[in-house]
Chain A
Amino acid sequence: MRAVLKNGVAVFTPQGFLDGSSGNALLSIDDIKGTIQQNADMVLVSLKKVIFFNRNGLDSFVKMFLKVRTSNHAAVGFCDIDTKKYNAIIKFYKDNLTFSLFQTQEVATLFASSYKNDTKNVLLYSEDKSQRAAMAIELHDNGHNPIIAQTQKEFDEKIEAENSYDIIIKDTYLGQMGQKVATRVTGNAIIYTISSFLDAEIGNTFNISYHNNSLNVGFRLFIFDAYKVISMNVHALNFFSKLATAGAEYNATICFVGLTFEKTPKEFKEILEDSGIMFFDQMDDILQNKELLKELGASSAANIKSKRSINKGTVTELPSFIEATVSTIEMMTNSKAIKEDVLIKHISIDKKEGKIASSIGFYGDLDGMIILVFPTGIAKRACELLIGEETDDNELILDTLAELVNIVGGKVKTLLGDEHISVDITLPRTYQDIDSLFEIVQNKKGVQVDLAFNDDKFLFFLTR
């Protein structure tokens, strides 16, 4: 079986009865290799649909956890476990619990290094004091507000306060967490949290593909939260210098916040500054300074000096891109999709109101970005196979639209692969209004294709 990857978290969902033989059948060597290749920040096995398990059944997944963590430094664990399942696993692995246990998938994603939703107020309790502290630190590093209950009594009392917490954590155990650099998004800036001694290992723990994706989709300000960094050596220095140089092509800015040079050679600061890296004492020195944010390119999601245009190679493969989009929409809506008009131009959208968009980048033998723009009601129809029920939840619709464009990206990859053109796809991105899309593509030329299904019109735009 394969894990479903979403927002950097890969989730396996086995069903039924999990013993030694079924565990081995569920996970082949290829499945484990595939999981490693997904390069997720967190790998989870949901036990929501498992009614019976024993230690042998879990062992197959635990072995996979070890391999994934060794290769990718990802956080690993089981999720969707009730108290009975939690206690059973604790009992099975009491002396060797190296992975994590999360009450729900939602709780798990709070600890994922690239979790990028809003800051959450989180009430947590564990009998184990060190667990309480570890959870609070991880949550804080990921941009959340942990509130620790020191006793069961305090926890029970705090739970009574309605609407005080976004998420309540119990029956959760943090094993060895992923060593990946924690990542969060604040407005149009991306914040990486780094700590302790920085050496050559930063090349493994920093998710460079996430960083490149972020550049590709328009982020220009990257902040390293370095309050907890003790020192760095020359290998880490080289890493950050190269990162800054590579980002310069996109006019991106890298900042360090809270880094002291007590145990790091002072000349390192000059070298980093020469690479274009800026230093600040406090996070608010940047985030609360609107003028500075504008200057650093974070007033909007894109501020590209070197605008790239669509090229011949990409246009030649246009039929594959349209085919992938049309067949995906047909699959999702069970209706015929029709191509109406094709023009090379700057993106033009008649009425901006009530429309949402999603995009996905691709890179490799070809590079570029596919953008789909839908009226919200039509997006709902296009996604109804995945949503399954009537909803006005805009977040859910945007989330599902991301899945849809991800499917388009997957199909593009397959179709181009058939022509021996190798590309990888980035994470999908969604835009809740057209203005935020325009921040990325307003001045870009590309191929605009008007498409329709059941007389419902939507727009496809291919650019670089």
Chain B
Amino acid sequence: MITKETIDNFIDKIPPAPDALRETLMHLNLGDLTKAAKSASQDKALNNYLKVLVNKPIYGFRNEVSDVSQIFGILGVNQSQQAVYNYMTMLLSPSKWLLFKLNRVLFYNLQADLSVNWQKILKYLEIKDKDISSAISLLPASIIVSEALFCNKKKDIDILRSVNPIDLNTILKRLTGLDLFDICEQIAKKWNMPESISQILQASSGTKPSNDLELNRLGKWMHLLLFYTLSQPQYIEAELNDFIDFQIEYVNEIYDEFSELMELS
């Protein structure tokens, strides 16, 4: 159904990060928001994306923000880098979704929901590292990879899952030896993303705990955040709720804190 070659072809086709983006990220890395905004303004699609993203209600800005330098100024270095990485992930998304009932707007919303709540978690955990902040931006890439690899196999997947409640991540792992998160790691490498991003993402799969206690803790929070987000009705209707397996035991120890932070009754 899906082979290692299918995955290699998919990775090969992913373009490297455009020059303007690399420059933007380099300036953000140095903490220079002005130069970063100047580089970012060369890429019209990035400008437009940032404008749409930060004006989502979940970001909570009262007035519309439209200028890149203004956006970067409001977001600060950490969230600006996170937003740029979100844009890079979005570049991989298909123009038409076939496996999941997603569209561009809903995917943007998903990115925004994850990003804002991830910031909330990091604030609670008193973590200010910008790479950790950006780690969340790669998580939706797992959804894009699922779509790319399984979109022409929907009927087969439906029949398979009608007799066995197996998730896409497990199917991929058993067929190819690689799972969605391994593929996301390869994407991150191709885009020269910091290694800690991949490590947190791998831990967030819930099936590959990290030996680094801190990264593992962040993986737990991210795994739980993912399922908190995918339990929202719009994402359930998009059929995202069970694309990977929820590892409830993995997150049990942080559930009470999470529940309090998200004000669950």
Contacting pair A52 B264 (CB below 8 A): yes
Instruction: Say how far A88's CB is from chain B's closest CB, in angstroms.
Output: 13
Q: Does B63 contact A (CB under 8 A)?
A: no
Q: Which of B170, B251, B264 contacts A388 (CB 8 A)?
A: B170
Q: Which residues of B contact A21 (CB under 8 A)?
A: 232-233
Q: Does B125 contact A (CB under 8 A)?
A: no
The digit string for A400-421, where 1 denotes a CB below 8 A from any CB of B, is: 0001001100110010000000
CB neighbors of B among A1-28 (8 A) = 1-2, 4-6, 11, 13-19, 21-22, 24-26
Supposing A15-B246, A54-B265, A384-B174 touch, asked if A2 and B162 sit within 8 A by C-beta, the answer is yes
Contacting pair B265 A16 (CB below 8 A): no
Interface centre among A11, A17, A331 (most CB of B within 10 A): A17
Q: Does A334 contact B (CB under 8 A)?
A: yes
CA distance A385 to B172 in the complex (A): 9
Q: Does B230 contact A (CB under 8 A)?
A: yes
Instruction: Say how far A105's CB is from chain B's closest CB, in angstroms.
Output: 11
Q: Which of A13, A25, A334, A406 contacts B1 (CB 8 A)?
A: A334
Instruction: Say how far B202's CB is from chain A's closest CB, in angstroms.
Output: 19
The digit string for A349-390, where 1 denotes a CB below 8 A from any CB of B, is: 000000000000000000000000000000000001110100
Instruction: Say how far A335's CB is from chain B's closest CB, in angstroms.
Output: 9
Contacting pair B233 A24 (CB below 8 A): yes
Contacting pair B231 A15 (CB below 8 A): yes
CB neighbors of B among A86-115 (8 A) = none
Supposing A15-B241, A51-B227 touch, asked if A385 and B174 sit within 8 A by C-beta, the answer is yes
B-side interface mostly: helix
Contacting pair A14 B163 (CB below 8 A): no
A-side interface mostly: mixed
Q: Which residues of A contact B2 (CB under 8 A)?
A: 334
Q: Which residues of B contact A25 (CB under 8 A)?
A: 233-234, 236-237
Contacting pair A49 B248 (CB below 8 A): yes
CA distance A327 to B159 in the complex (A): 12
Q: Which residues of B contact A406 (CB under 8 A)?
A: 163
CA distance A303 to B160 in the complex (A): 34
CA distance A403 to B232 in the complex (A): 31
Interface centre among A327, A334, A388 (most CB of B within 10 A): A334
Supposing A4-B161, A414-B159 touch, asked if A334 and B231 sit within 8 A by C-beta, the answer is no
Instruction: Say how far A404's CB is from chain B's closest CB, in angstroms.
Output: 8
Q: Does B113 contact A (CB under 8 A)?
A: no
CA distance A49 to B162 in the complex (A): 18
Contacting pair A4 B165 (CB below 8 A): yes
CA distance A81 to B156 in the complex (A): 31
For A413, the closest partner residue in chain B by CB is: B159
Q: Does B242 contact A (CB under 8 A)?
A: yes
For B3, the closest partner residue in chain A by CB is: A334
CA distance A19 to B236 in the complex (A): 12
CA distance A48 to B249 in the complex (A): 10
Q: Does A59 contact B (CB under 8 A)?
A: no
Q: Which residues of A contact B155 (CB under 8 A)?
A: 414
Q: Which residues of B contact A17 (CB under 8 A)?
A: 227-228, 231, 264
Q: Which residues of A contact B248 (CB under 8 A)?
A: 48-51
CA distance A151 to B159 in the complex (A): 47
Contacting pair B231 A22 (CB below 8 A): yes
Contacting pair B255 A51 (CB below 8 A): yes
For A410, the closest partner residue in chain B by CB is: B159
Contacting pair B165 A407 (CB below 8 A): no
Instruction: Say how far B209's CB is from chain A's closest CB, in angstroms.
Output: 18
| Top 9 A-B pairs, shortest CB-CB distance | A25-B233, A16-B231, A16-B227, A17-B231, A25-B236, A15-B246, A410-B159, A403-B163, A331-B1
Jot down 28 A-B pairs with beta carbons below 8 A, ordered by A: A4-B163, A5-B163, A13-B165, A14-B241, A15-B227, A16-B230, A16-B231, A16-B241, A21-B232, A25-B236, A25-B237, A26-B241, A51-B246, A51-B252, A327-B156, A330-B1, A331-B153, A334-B2, A334-B175, A334-B176, A385-B171, A385-B174, A386-B164, A407-B159, A407-B163, A410-B159, A411-B159, A414-B159
Give me 11 other A-B pairs in contact (C-beta within 8 A), A22-B231, A331-B153, A411-B159 excluded: A1-B236, A22-B233, A25-B236, A52-B255, A331-B156, A334-B1, A384-B174, A385-B160, A385-B166, A407-B163, A410-B163
